[in-house]
Amino acid sequence: MSNENSNWEKITDDITEVTNKIKNKIKEEDLAEDLINSLSNTIESTSRLFDNLLNTIDSTIKDEDIKKETKEIIVKINDEISTSIKETGARILNLKDEDSLNEEE
């Protein structure tokens, strides 16, 4: 009887371990999704911010040379930020894909 109880304890421990692994994996996947959604929202917000900034420059700066130079600087900054965000997003997606591949193996 003792051996039978021991087997059931091992099975229960194994089930608990698998359950915990599943819960942890779900949490990790949720965090990755949250991060991807957050990154997407950041990209959209940044884009709107720069659009508003360009509109403000158009409406407030009267000197055409200053307006043009200012807008060029803003566009360059926007391009740099967009590139950085996209590269970061690609790295996140690659890490997520690598994790998925590792789990399948």
**Is the pLDDT reported for residue 89 higher than 80?**
no
The mean pLDDT value for 65-77 works out to: 91
Q: How far is CA 101 from the centre of its chain?
A: 19
62 three-class SS: coil
Residue 60 belongs to domain spanning: 2-104
- And the tokens for 55? 């509109």
Residue-level pLDDT at 41: 85
Half-sphere exposure of 21 (CA within 13 A, CB side): 7
Residue-level pLDDT at 69: 94
CA distance 32 to 20: 18
Residue-level pLDDT at 64: 94
**Is the pLDDT reported for residue 63 higher than 90?**
yes
- And the tokens for 74? 């803003």
The mean pLDDT value for 2-10 works out to: 70
Which residue in the block uniquely carries the two structure tokens 């600087």?
Answer: 73
Residue-level pLDDT at 97: 65
**Is the pLDDT reported for residue 8 higher than 70?**
yes
- Count up the domains in the chain and report the number: 1
Q: Check residues 102 and 37 and name the one with the higher pLDDT.
A: 37
Average pLDDT over all residues of the chain: 79
